[in-house]
Amino acid sequence: MGIVVHEALHGLTWMIAGRKSLSAMKFGVQWKVLTPYAHSTEPMPAWAYRLGTIMPGLVLGFLPLLIGLIGGSGWVFFVGVVFTLAAGGDFLILWLIRRVDRRALIEDHPTRAGCYVLLDSPAAADQS
């Protein structure tokens, strides 16, 4: 159930921050590797893509980890650790696009984890 919520958080955040409709989101499972996914079929600004990418790690990972640590609940802390580790691929993507301008257009990769940077700097497009 947590994996479904993880992917739903990606999609919901991309819809809100990237101003995308539900029809621009694709949800499913890659059966060869038994991996659920959320995918935006339309490009969005890098800042919105980053926000949608990090949201599951924050909500399902860091937040329960912190609550468990402060509240002394080993179970909640453990859940936070598990979901923080589950967001490792998301953190890797964020690291790889760390130098991309926040206004650059990013398109989610349709079949793999990651994305394409379509326009690294909107200012560069204005000059061409």
Chain segment 39-62, per-residue pLDDT in tens: 999 999 999 999 999 999 999 999
Residue pair 3/86 in contact by the 8 Å Cβ criterion: yes
E strand map for 3-125? 25-30, 35-40, 44-45, 105-108, 115-119
Domain ranges of the chain: 2-127
Cα–Cα distances in Å, from 83 out to 56, 69, 104, 111? Answer: 8, 15, 29, 22
Contact partners, residue 103, CB within 8 Å, separation at least 6: 45, 46, 47, 121, 122
Tell me the C-alpha distance between 102 and 121, whole Å: 8
Tell me the C-alpha distance between 5 and 36, whole Å: 10
Q: Which of 22, 5, 118, 9 is nearest to 54 (CA)?
A: 9
Per-residue pLDDT of the chain (128 residues), as tens digits, is 888 999 999 999 999 999 999 999 999 988 888 888 999 999 999 999 999 999 999 999 999 999 999 999 999 999 999 999 999 999 999 999 999 999 999 998 888 888 989 966 555 455 44
Tell me the three state secondary structure of residue 19: coil
pTM (2 d.p.): 0.87
Give residue for tokens 């980053």.
Answer: 50
